[in-house]
Amino acid sequence: MNAPATTELPVVVIGAGPAGLAAAAHLLDQGIEPLVLEAGDTAGAAVREWSHVRLFSTWGEVVDPAAEKLLAPTGWTRPDPATYPSGGDWADLYLQPLADVLGDRVRTGARVTGVSRTGRDRIVDADREQQPFVVHFADAGGREERVFARAVIDASGTWATPSPAGGSGLAALGEKAAADRITYRVPDLKDPAVRARYAGKRTAVIGSGASAFTALAYLADLAKSDDGAGTKGVWILRRSISGSTFGGGDADQLPARGALGLAAKAAVDAGHADAVTGFRTEAIERESDGRLILVGEDGRRLDAVDELIVLTGFRPDLSFLDELRLGLDERLQAPVELAPLIDPNQHSCGSVYPHGHRELSHPEPGVYLVGMKSYGRAPTFLAMTGYEQVRSVAAAIAGDIESADRVELTLPETGVCGGAGLFDQPEAAGQADGGGCCAPAPALVQLGVGAPAAAVVEEAPAGGCCGS
């Protein structure tokens, strides 16, 4: 069967999450038909898996303008823009209504298995750019289908591919065998079955970002509850504790994000969690009673834990894009033009420079990775970044380059400074905070393995680099 003319085809959007649905709304605003393929059985399926977690962005920051315009005729009104939704709120009150408006343009239970140029594998040059894209996908029963597209926007995110516990980027030895005691998500401690799993137990949390902060705060709340006596957290960090360990605190322009770090610090200060620093997990051993012992690259063996929460970030699944010619940074697996803007090895502090279709383009014209997937392995993605990305990309696909190039977005500062590749070096944490470019910093805590929390207050000098 011959593919139809490219101009008659829809744009295939992979993923019905916040960025994917916003992309569909912007395409419609440009007069282009989208087809959204979602692997889950509902719109926002990945968001629903962390429905118990509250966003650190307000409703005013997580609703896309084109989507709101599409929803308006239905009588939909945005919730109080100053309040903070949970993941469940976001999915139920915004993503699902948006998917309902899009109707048959959203296909759930459609897992994309491959994307290519029609009749051209990645080797063939001849007439390549004149060929439409072909997208293969499978339904929930495994039946395979294909659809042709004029362009492809991959907004599938990274939720399905969490990074492992191993400090080398590989799964630690024994990690897979210990899978029944490990989770790679923030647990929902309001669920009675999940709560029973962690109540009164000793749980290690590996990670240093907002998800780790959240897990530590949840465990501390459990420890203080009537049914959580004996609950203890062990916070595993690959670097030393420093002024940036707990995030930007009061200096973060997203107050709820700063509060997460302060909540984690409070958990440590109150003795509900001990910190183990400079520890890169090499192996996970299992005792006869099923508990786990973490072994570091330096030979350290930690006291046994009952459960392990691994929150070391996510990475993109690029397997179904293998027949396309992508230009990806060798470190972050993000588009090469975007990578320098988000690379934690280079940035000292502050927000991401506004970007759009040019930074998201690839050697294969018509392919765009957007949303969290565009960041590859880099952390701290904001919904408003994704919304501006898809606005620019939709305009570019429509041929409105002037609008596509007009990227206007100011992102909030994190209040955290580091950079020069020092974030993950235990001996260099102090250098990452040198000069006191963010102020004020939270109090420092210095802990030994298994030692009670002892706070040592240090104030970083005031400075202006994060607010400049």
Q: What is the pLDDT of residues 70-124, one digit of tens each?
A: 999 999 999 999 999 999 999 999 999 999 999 999 999 999 999 999 999 999 9
Contact assessment for residue 218 and residue 320, using Cβ atoms and an 8 Å cutoff? no
The residue that leads in pLDDT, 245 or 190, is: 190
Q: How confident is the model at residue 255 (pLDDT cuts 50, 70, 90)?
A: low
What confidence score (pLDDT) does residue 462 get? 29
What confidence score (pLDDT) does residue 150 get? 98
d(CA 237, CA 278): 6
Residue 194 pLDDT exceeds 60: yes
The pLDDT tens digits of the residues spanning 40-51 come to 999 999 999 999
What confidence score (pLDDT) does residue 446 get? 31
Residue 127 pLDDT exceeds 50: yes
The pLDDT tens digits of the residues spanning 290-341 come to 999 999 999 999 999 999 999 999 999 999 999 999 999 999 999 999 998 8
Q: How confident is the model at residue 344 (pLDDT cuts 50, 70, 90)?
A: confident
The pLDDT tens digits of the residues spanning 140-189 come to 899 999 999 999 999 999 999 999 999 999 999 999 999 999 999 999 99
Residue 379 pLDDT exceeds 90: no
What confidence score (pLDDT) does residue 262 get? 78
Residue 57 pLDDT exceeds 70: yes
The pLDDT tens digits of the residues spanning 29-41 come to 999 999 999 999 9
Q: What is the pTM of this model?
A: 0.84
What confidence score (pLDDT) does residue 248 get? 52
For residues 431-450, give the mean pLDDT: 32
d(CA 466, CA 164): 31
The pLDDT tens digits of the residues spanning 201-212 come to 999 999 988 889
Residue 230 pLDDT exceeds 90: yes
Residue 234 pLDDT exceeds 80: yes
Residue 427 pLDDT exceeds 60: no
